[in-house]
Amino acid sequence: MRSRFSALELSRLDMPATLPPPGPELSEERFEASRATLFVDGFMTHFIKVGGVLVIAAVLGIFVFILFQILPLFQGAKVKPVQTVQLPEQQYSVMGVDEWAELPFLVSAEGKMRFIDLQQEGKITEIDLATVTKAAPAAPSPAAAEPETPADSAAPDAAPAPGAAAPPPSPPARAALFSAISYNARKQELALGSPDGRVAIVAVNYTTAFAEDGSRTVNQTLEAGEWLPLGRPGAPITGIDVGDASDAKLIGVIQQVGDGAEVHAVALTRKRTLLGGGALTAGQSHDLTPHLTGKPVQIHVSSSANAIVIVTADGEVEYFFKSGEQFELRQVFKPFGDLADPTVASIDFLFGDVSLVATSISGQNRVFSLYRQAGSNVRTFGQTKEFEPLPGAATFYTSSLRNKGFLTGTAEVASLRYSTTETVRWQEKMPFTIARAVISGKYDRILFLDKENRLHLYSLADPHPETSWRALFGKIWYEGYSHPEYEWQSTGGTDDFEPKFSLVPLIIGTLKGTLYAMVFAVPIALTAALYASQFLHSRFRAVVKPIMEIMASLPSVVLGFLAALWLAPLIETRVPSVILMVVAIPLTAFGFGYLWSGLPFGARRLIPAGYEFIVFLPIVVLVTWVCWHLGPAFEKIAFVVTDPATGARVADFRQWWPQATGADFQQRNSLVVGFVMGFAVIPIIFTIAEDALSNVPLSLRSASLALGATRWQTARSVILPTASAGIFSALMIGLGRAVGETMIVVMATGNTPIMDLNIFSGMRTLSANIAVELPEAPVNSTFYRTLFLGAMLLFLATFLVNTIAEVMRQRLREKYKTV
Amino acid sequence: METTNKTPRRAKRGVGEPFIWVTAVGLSLGMLMVVGLLALILVNGTAVFWPDRVEQVNIRAESPFELRGKKVFAGRLVKKQDRILQDIEAREAAERAGVWPQEFQYFVGNKDAYGLSFFYIDGAAIAAREQPRDIAQLERLEYGDAFGYFVGLRLKDGATIPAGDPNFLPQLRALNREVNERREELSRIEKGQIGRINHQLQRLALRQKEAGNDAAALAPIEAERQELQTRYETLAKTAGELRARQSENQLVYRLPAGDERTLPLGQLIDFRFPNQLGFFERTSVFLHGIWKFLSEEPREANTEGGVFPAIFGTFVMTLLMSIAVTPFGILAAIYLREYAKQGVFVRSVRIAVNNLAGVPSIVFGVFGLGFFVYFVGGTIDSLFYSASLPTPTFGTGGILWASLTLALMTVPVVIVATEEALSSISRGMREASLACGASKWQTMQRIVLPAAVPGILTGLILAMARGAGEVAPLMLVGVVKLAPNLPLDMTFPFFHLERKFMHLGFHIYDLGFQSPDSEAAKPMVFATTALLIGLVIVLNLGAILLRERLRRKYALGAF
């Protein structure tokens, strides 16, 4: 109607109107709005609509933002081809790569080491290992300790200088420089075993230079040790591995002696001199052959240089542990003993050297970790994970140097797996036949070498391998644990630490805090609401409600401070008093009410209806005081134990509780938290429940009273059932507040993520966890996103609870309308 | 129930009467909890400033208690309580004797001499407690208070005035005033002028970085830098001289146990004889103490001095938050109530907004950190402050982000309150306005909004109260235990939105939980708590009163 009016008026305004002189006579124009008014009105309409929608969208955008922060947690790995380089036709035995995956190398069977510069279209720098390694001299020469000068990568054919400067007197025969080779990617060391029973270690040092513009160039240098004789002199080495713990190396070799094989191990120690590293000197050689139960085919030495794992031809794994100078055979087990063909296709350590990843001939993939098995005090291997089987026997294996990921697969299929979460991050049939593969040090590139000697570079995007539904909400068998656990432990002391991101202890902690808060708050809040709405004299209402609302406004940091620094030390020694109070106060109330209401009518009039709570103010104070002082006496009667330290008999609840229940007693415990959180929850429940109760239509109440029901009968049978939905919604909203409470929990508990419901121990809630840990979490790390996930859970939980409550309340309002 | 015409002498008990008493106790408990808590905080928070008497305690020679090898000390009695005897035999012995062992806690001060501030002693070990008239309490810049007896003044010219000299006290007072004035002068120079020069030097360094190798641009920068450097050196020299003068005179005092100690007068803030003060003098000391608490900066890892920066930070943050929250909250509420087509969608939006008020504050903190600090702040840094990277300017917590985070947290409160206020305005008023030919916006502007102002204000005050008392989200987005500068000062551009700030609530958390001596910090925590609670309650009471008035107004105008 208005718009038609204004259109009319607009057309009029366009005319050069001669305005009638202002006078008493009425004219049409008097009723017209000015153009400015209409413009402002239209503008404001649009402004408010757009602005309002934007504000609401922004506020609800919180949910979307947090959602986008946590989505990457649930994504798998993305692997994409980047580059392919054709290499010279040759048999390659070992592949390695630098941290940036720019300068991988391959070692050919003849002992040629080729560095492939992927930044320069695969330009190859070739180094002959024979010229680098030196034959063992009679006496250690100082020259051997000198680091090699960098090989000039610009001149592909330039032989390294030191080899040329000091030509090796007698390197092992050219055609067979080595008969066994292994590469320790973590320490970037090649271990070579010669056909004449000698070993040499060549360190591959990558150096990274950063230019002014931020670009980098990676260069390589080789640092070679001497050929050292090892084990049985002259016997060809068929398997070799080296473990390097900075100051000590452990070399294990399999040597062929006649038809049989022997296993020898030797520890090398590096003598430090003033001018840097000294030469490696071999320690005592150990012959492990007598302990063997079968023919050794594979040998692996742990990076900590104290363990050797040998695989025999019939699928047995033997675990030797070096304690002091002696090797002891700790364990012999068959990883695939339950299968028809127990042969081990591949087995190797995972990053951290606590777990072995094994694959069987049939493609079964299992992880064995070291832990203390029941009744034993040494750590032995036990199966902790079983992966989805591979389509066939594994032909390659490479582990990440950053986390518990590993890449394995058959000739056709590559599969990236993550040990902690027992998940396959990525698996694909490759368009070539895989010969070797390696993961770069930053866990962002994968290199494949195929059977046609092509090198394929793939990019790997897997920022959050540590999480999965199972890791976040399920039990995980972590390394070193003797059984699967729910565990939250975000950081550890070492690089190879497995972050433990189970949210379950935090959820349990949240529920525990909420439970005790509700146990304390609900009875008080609901009885208070019932009394205030039904029985309280109306003159007090104006006072009572604001006081309860002030309680709602108390900052939680204040409550937390009082809980931790005032209340916790206060009731630590007075738990029996608290128990007495919990029992005595309601009993006193009931008893007093019973006696009083039995008094003669005249006496009863002394306390008019609606004044009862005033009477109770001094009584409650008195009962509290009495209980407080009776507490020690009660403790002496009920909670006497023998102090294990002194043998004296003491009345001490703090000692009685652990001895009686086996659970902890801590000063900052759930009792304190529950009590103080009550201050936050009681007023909320009270206010909403009181509203619901006092909004019950008066007609219902009057009808009930008129029919002769007492005020209690009316309240219990008429008011409470009618308002039950409102009371439920009050409880829900109170619950929501307790779930999200942060500061009280941060301050008044020990913040230990434990999983029990013991009232005298602390907990860590989701919210406290965020407050404590988020400031330290690196942006966009798994840790950071997991904390966002915690926030999301809190958001969803409270939002859900509040929505239920709100819907209930609206239903209730409809109901009242119809009555 | 039977019905009778005459009242019986013993009426039958009404059904369920005892249960009513049980419900009454719930309300009583609730009331007592609130009142008790407020009383506890108020008493403990103000008792800090009340100058208590100082006792000198002689310890029995045979008892194992001693303080630094001495059997005598002086201090303020903090607590006296019955000991809890867990050991049954000891308890029975005490019961037989009829004497319950007590323990005393004294604040003994002299932290530099004793290495501790609080001393616990068994009542049985105390031989005598007295209140010597001439014991002095010295408030010092470092190590907290000292208790002792004056010995004399050692002046810079070598002269000494013994404590017995009639000139001693006037001279001490005069010198004390002098050093206090000089200390203020020093702080003006160091914090004000030198601080400003440092700020300018930093900006120059940034400009220099931006200029790169451009010699023409570098020359004036270098010249300016030289000039600032000269000014800085002059000021630093003046400050050095003033500082040297602070310690030229020395006060000699004696600990109760007898050892003499000297204190450079520059370290002395104030002194008094607590056992000589009358009631009015004590009241004056009390009020003076409160004033100093409110107006001074913290000292000694926040356990001494005042909380002015925290008050200021809380105030500025709440103000910024209100500026951000008011227009947006009101806009959204007007849209929802007046302009949006009412239906299922708007109803569910309303429920959602309503429920956001119940989402834990820490979730908003997480959002603030992820969105404002890392995303928006990081973008601003890379666009406008790239010269100072990797040191973040806006890409780290600051007062702006904290205010915005809290604004987001409290916007539902304002929306809900405004909507309620709008909906409570009678239809008659709107229709009257529209019937008079006013446009929709004119009706809003002239009729509806003015009438809704008290309701909107109520919401705003509640939002401010919630914002002022909230700590958890702030911990993530920019609050610190000690901010070197206020977010508002005299250096350009005056309002430093990127600065970190102090906050009363976080001050409580930090003092109570991060300070090395939480027992010594307790009085300060209580005082800060009382202040914060006072602030929050005043805001809430204001909102409640406003709402009551509003209700009455509409109750009258309902017809």
Query: For the segment A313-366, what is each residue's pLDDT rounded down to a tens digit?
Result: 888 888 988 887 788 888 888 888 888 888 888 888 888 888 899 998 888 899
Residue whose C-alpha is closest to residue A307's, from A342, A335, A331: A331
Cβ separation of A535 and B37 shorter than 8 Å?
no
Instruction: Suggest the residue from B3, B15, B28 to mutate for an interface test with chain A (most A CBs closer than 10 A).
Output: B28
What is this structure's pTM? Answer: 0.86
Is B1 in the A-facing interface, judged by CB distances under 8 Å? Answer: yes
* Cross-chain CB nearest to B374 (options A556, A636, A779): A779
* pLDDT for position A140: 37
Is B505 in the A-facing interface, judged by CB distances under 8 Å? Answer: yes
Which 339-358 residues of chain B touch chain A by CB within 8 A? 339-340, 349, 351-356, 358
Q: Which helix (H) or strand (E) holds B106?
A: strand B102-107
Residue whose C-alpha is closest to residue A746's, from A673, A638, A795, A649: A673
Confidence of residue A166 (pLDDT cuts 50, 70, 90): very low
Is B86 in the A-facing interface, judged by CB distances under 8 Å? Answer: yes
Q: Is the pLDDT of residue A788 over 90?
A: yes
* pLDDT for position A627: 93
Is B335 in the A-facing interface, judged by CB distances under 8 Å? Answer: yes
Distance from CA of B347 to the nearest CA of A (A): 11
Instruction: Suggest the residue from B87, B431, B439, B535 to mutate for an interface test with chain A (most A CBs closer than 10 A).
Output: B439
Residues in chain B closer than 8 A to A548 (CB atoms): 30, 34
How far apart are the C-alpha atoms of A565 and A787, rounded to whole Å? 28
CA triplet A33, A37, A42: central angle to 5 degrees? 115
Give me the DSSP letters along A420-432: TTTEEEEEEE-SS
Please, are residues A105 and A96 in contact by the beta-carbon 8 Å criterion? yes
Which tens digits make up the pLDDT trace of A394-412? 888 998 888 889 999 988 8
Question: Exposed (0-12), middle (13-18) or buried (19+): which is A257, by Cβ within 10 Å?
Answer: middle
Which tens digits make up the pLDDT trace of A693-715? 988 888 889 999 999 888 889 99
Cβ separation of A803 and B8 shorter than 8 Å?
no
* Cross-chain CB nearest to B14 (options A615, A648, A710): A710
Cβ separation of B359 and A740 shorter than 8 Å?
yes
* Cross-chain CB nearest to B18 (options A56, A597, A711): A597
Q: Is the pLDDT of residue A176 over 80?
A: no
Neighbours of A301 (CB within 10 A): 29
User: What would you measure as the largest C-alpha separation in chain A, in angstroms?
Assistant: 132
Please, how many CA atoms are within 13 Å of residue A17, restricted to the half-sphere of its CB? 13
Confidence of residue A515 (pLDDT cuts 50, 70, 90): very high
Question: Exposed (0-12), middle (13-18) or buried (19+): which is B363, by Cβ within 10 Å?
Answer: buried
Which 457-486 residues of chain B touch chain A by CB within 8 A? 465-466, 468-472, 475-476
Domain boundaries along the sequence of chain B: 55-131, 147-274, 313-556
How far apart are the C-alpha atoms of A671 and A757, rounded to whole Å? 11
Is B363 in the A-facing interface, judged by CB distances under 8 Å? Answer: yes
* pLDDT for position A779: 86
Please, are residues A256 and A238 in contact by the beta-carbon 8 Å criterion? yes
Confidence of residue A6 (pLDDT cuts 50, 70, 90): very low
Cβ separation of A65 and B370 shorter than 8 Å?
yes
**Integer angstrom CA distances of residue A254 from A179, A263, B245, B548:** 11, 5, 81, 91
Cβ separation of A528 and B29 shorter than 8 Å?
yes
* Cross-chain CB nearest to A48 (options B335, B412, B540): B335
Identify the three-state secondary structure at position B348. helix
* pLDDT for position A543: 86
Cβ separation of B329 and A532 shorter than 8 Å?
no
**Structural tokens at position A112:** 């040629």
How far apart are the C-alpha atoms of A292 and A312, rounded to whole Å? 8
Q: Is the pLDDT of residue A4 over 50?
A: no
Residues 6 or more apart whose CB falls under 8 angstroms from that of A68 comprise none
CATH topology of domain B313-556: MetI-like fold (1.10.3720)
Nearest CA in chain A to B19: A590
Residues 6 or more apart whose CB falls under 8 angstroms from that of A118 comprise A83, A85, A101, A102, A103, A104, A457
Residues in chain A closer than 8 A to B86 (CB atoms): 650-652
CA triplet B307, B309, B312: central angle to 5 degrees? 110
Distance from CA of B341 to the nearest CA of A (A): 11
Cβ separation of A544 and B29 shorter than 8 Å?
no
Cβ separation of A523 and B26 shorter than 8 Å?
yes
Q: Is the peptide bond before B390 cis (omega within 30 degrees of 0)?
A: yes
Confidence of residue A786 (pLDDT cuts 50, 70, 90): very high
- pLDDT over 70 for what percent of chain A? 89
How far apart are the C-alpha atoms of A443 and A404, rounded to whole Å? 11
Cβ separation of B331 and A52 shorter than 8 Å?
yes
* pLDDT for position B364: 92
Is B39 in the A-facing interface, judged by CB distances under 8 Å? Answer: no
* Cross-chain CB nearest to B20 (options A2, A612, A679): A612
* pLDDT for position A1: 40
* pLDDT for position A789: 93
Cβ separation of B30 and A711 shorter than 8 Å?
no
Nearest CA in chain B to A613: B24
Nearest CA in chain A to B373: A779
Residues 6 or more apart whose CB falls under 8 angstroms from that of A36 comprise none
How far apart are the C-alpha atoms of B139 and B375, rounded to whole Å? 47
Q: Which position has the token pair 């401010």?
A: B464
Enumerate the β-bridge partners of residue A414.
Answer: A409, A428
* Cross-chain CB nearest to B358 (options A592, A712, A798): A798
Please, are residues B22 and A593 in contact by the beta-carbon 8 Å criterion? yes
Cβ separation of B33 and A613 shorter than 8 Å?
no
Domains in chain A, ordered, with CATH?
A: 504-818 (1.10.3720.10)
Confidence of residue A244 (pLDDT cuts 50, 70, 90): confident
* pLDDT for position A172: 46
ipTM of the complex: 0.88
Confidence of residue A19 (pLDDT cuts 50, 70, 90): low
Instruction: Suggest the residue from B2, B347, B359 to mutate for an interface test with chain A (most A CBs closer than 10 A).
Output: B359
Burial A380-418 (b: 16+ CB within 10 A, else e): bbeebbebeebebbbbbbbbbbbbbbbbbbbbebbbbbb
Cβ separation of B332 and A648 shorter than 8 Å?
no
Low-confidence residues in chain B, pLDDT < 50: 1-5, 7-9, 556-559
* Cross-chain CB nearest to A558 (options B23, B349, B529): B529
* Cross-chain CB nearest to B88 (options A66, A592, A649): A649
Least confident of A16-25, A162-171, A584-593, B168-177: A162-171
Cβ separation of B26 and A41 shorter than 8 Å?
no
Identify the three-state secondary structure at position B307. coil
Residues in chain A closer than 8 A to B31 (CB atoms): 544, 547, 613, 617
Q: Is the pLDDT of residue A452 over 50?
A: yes
Residue whose C-alpha is closest to residue A682's, from A733, A717, A721: A733
Return the CA Rg of chain B.
32
Cβ separation of A767 and B472 shorter than 8 Å?
yes
Q: Which helix (H) or strand (E) holds A727?
A: helix A724-740
Residues 6 or more apart whose CB falls under 8 angstroms from that of B388 comprise B206, B209
Cβ separation of B470 and A555 shorter than 8 Å?
yes
Please, are residues A346 and A358 in contact by the beta-carbon 8 Å criterion? yes
* pLDDT for position A5: 44
How far apart are the C-alpha atoms of A559 and A681, rounded to whole Å? 12
* Cross-chain CB nearest to A554 (options B21, B22, B533): B533
Distance from CA of B469 to the nearest CA of A (A): 5
